[in-house]
Structure 1
């Protein structure tokens, strides 16, 4: 199965579960930007509960090609995001193991959102040992046939699939398990075991 999807910012755990099931990953590089989506947003777990983090963009609208969407660094969002992430996960077992790698990407200040997301995704591929071929679309196509699984728009902050349920694992905050957060939550809490969880979550019951 060839999984076609948009590239997300600090993608969700379910996003990576689906990636492990695929034979190849295809990222949509010719779509138009969509506001209030996971393209520039993720969710993490803090002491106050689940919190969204959003990357501000410049002049983003439905006519902007995703690869041409620029990030707005005037808002110093990298500092805000990292302070929030460190406050949420500083005491997690594997936070120190990964933090410098992620900080290095932020320090590069990629001009475009698509590039930022790709650089972060490459890190997660390395951390999770996700050895899959990765390619970009060469043009926009409305519909695809098998063996391509078109997952564009399936994951959205306001309309998650009803069958999106993850097996609980240990988390830093709260007595009730928070499901399908950013992959950061899984990595900081489980470390190298994160890839095992993604492929066989029942092993953590």
Structure 2
């Protein structure tokens, strides 16, 4: 099975749970960028509650008419400093923050021009953290729906395509999952979080990694 997904900024842990049984990853590279999604934001938990971290992009007012792979990051805003300080404040005392901090920081300070490149670098790092070694490919053109007869990258093996585009969303109103689409919250078992009380689902995968480190994958309900 090849899992088709959009690229996210530090996506929810459920994405990596869904990748565990996959044979490959197909990243949507030709959709129009859409605002208010995980494409440029993530959710973390702080002492004040759940907080979004958003990567600002250039030409935000017309962003929905631009290809997702062409969206440029707005470095006129000091967002890297803000995001990093927030992560340090929220997770600096977590068991594994220092274990991953340098790798994440190196990507931030490299300042990729494109949001797509930033997200892809973070994804490759996170895949290594979970020891997920899957072939990763980009779509060659946009299709609203995929079937086994849809054109695929030449090097992609002939596996069924599981379309998970827009499966993960920060919006309250989401489309009803199909019978083969488990809710994201069902794929990640509760784990001890830095701030409580109670368990907050659907946070960025960083919350799980900083809390559990190399054991993070043991909290996935793989189907």
Q: Same fold (TM over 0.5)?
A: yes
TM range (shorter): over 0.9
The answer on whether the counterparts of 1:8 and 1:38 sit within 8 Å (CA) in structure 2 is yes
Task: Report the alpha carbon displacement of residue 199 of structure 1 after superposing the two structures with TM.
Answer: 5.5
Distance 2:136 2:86 in 1: 31
Q: TM-score, normalised by structure 2?
A: 0.86
Q: TM-score, normalised by structure 1?
A: 0.93
Q: Aligned-residue CA RMSD in angstroms? A: 1.5
Runs of 4+ in 1 over 3 A off after TM superposition: 159-162
Does 1:4 find its partner at 2:26?
Answer: no
Task: Report the alpha carbon displacement of residue 25 of structure 1 after superposing the two structures with TM.
Answer: 0.6
Task: Report the alpha carbon displacement of residue 175 of structure 1 after superposing the two structures with TM.
Answer: 1.3
Aligned to 1:108: 110
Does 1:124 find its partner at 2:126?
Answer: yes
Normalized per residue, the structure richer in helix is: 1
Distance 1:198 1:140 in 2: 31
Does 1:157 find its partner at 2:170?
Answer: yes
Q: More deviation in 154-163 or 189-198?
A: 154-163
Alpha-carbon displacement from aligned partner over 1:5-47 (angstroms, at most 9, x marks no partner) = 1000011111111111211110000011000000001000100
Alpha-carbon displacement from aligned partner over 1:154-205 (angstroms, at most 9, x marks no partner) = 211113567332321011101110102101001000000012223669xxxx
Map 1:185-200 to 2 at 5 A: 185-198=207-220
Distance 1:200 1:27 in 2: 21
Distance 1:19 1:173 in 2: 27
Distance 1:59 1:21 in 2: 38
